[in-house]
Amino acid sequence: MIIPKLPSMKPSDQIQLTDADKARYEKRIAEINLNNIPMVVKSIPVKIERLIADPGLLDYQIALVSDISKLLNVNKMKFQTTIHKSVC
């Protein structure tokens, strides 16, 4: 897959999170039940494919979703290697 070069964004064009936003997200992240992570990770590829297929998605959004997908695959391989080593 070819990832297009992204145009530079001016600071005024970038989304800025407020301290209240950050606190809210940090609270929600802290509440995540870690036992649910494998189930959630399994559902991500389908959701990523659906996002990428959205005709309204901008190039930089597609690149971001693709990068996240790659990171998840690396993390998944690392997780499987760790489990394999602990079983052997």
Which residue matches tokens 């998840």?
Answer: 72
Is the pLDDT assigned to residue 54 strictly greater than 80? yes
Confidence bin at 53 (pLDDT 50/70/90)? confident
Average pLDDT value for residue range 70-79: 71
Range of the domain at 48: 33-87
Please report the pLDDT score of residue 4 as a whole number: 57
**pLDDT tens digits, residue range 59-73?**
888 888 888 878 877
Q: Is there a domain that residue 9 lies in?
A: no
Contacts of 23 (CB under 8 A, 6+ apart): none
**Model confidence, pTM:** 0.40
Which residue type sits at 69? S
Tokens 């936003």 belong to 21
User: How many domains would you assign to the chain?
Assistant: 1
